[in-house]
Amino acid sequence: MTADLITQSHSGDADATIALINKFNPLIKKYAYQLHEDDAYDDLLVDFVQLIHDIDLEKIHNQCDGCLVSYIGRAMKCAFIKKSKQKKSLQDIVLASELEDDQIYHIESLLSQRDSYFEQELPGIESILTKPEASVIRMIYINGHSACEAAQRLGTSRQAVNQMKNRALKKLKMQLMDKP
């Protein structure tokens, strides 16, 4: 039944989407209550609808109701954890108006410095690394992406990205150790 509702929702049936929302509404309300925010329910509802439209039923081997309910429950728990981490990181933010003048000056001086080491050294890594390895190194160490984000951008698995990163670091280490 859940698989049928998901399939109907994929085809644009609003009634099926509403039926799924009604079915999982207690779970959404539970996590929204635990977030202690005004918009938590709406945010989790958006995450739920996005989850329903992103589920690829062909990749799920066992499509019984219990398995799909468990899958959706775990995905909503992950969405709740993500939202609570975002909320916690926002609590750690200090407003500039709360800082003293010398603290603001110190922060601005730190932000104005630019590390040009990578800009000077990295243009030559194409001769040492393959194109995908160089791309992974740039994504992870210069742009600050995680291995999962780099994998999504490259269209490969996280393990493949980690292997490329490790191979690239090994090659760079060998190259730097050979330099006089």
pLDDT in tens, 50-82: 999 999 999 888 889 999 999 999 999 999 999
Whole-number Å distance between alpha carbons of 47 and 101: 41
Residue 122 has pLDDT above 70, yes or no: no
Domains of the chain: 2-91 (1.10.1740), 96-178 (1.10.10.10)
Distances (CA, A) of 111 to 104, 115, 140: 11, 10, 20
Confidence at residue 115, expressed as pLDDT on a 0 to 100 scale: 54
What letter would DSSP give residue 59?
A: G
From the list 136, 133, 156, the residue with the least C-alpha distance to 146 is 136
Whole-number Å distance between alpha carbons of 32 and 43: 8
The backbone torsions φ and ψ at residue 105, rounded to the nearest 5 degrees and listed phi first, read -60, -45
Confidence at residue 121, expressed as pLDDT on a 0 to 100 scale: 56
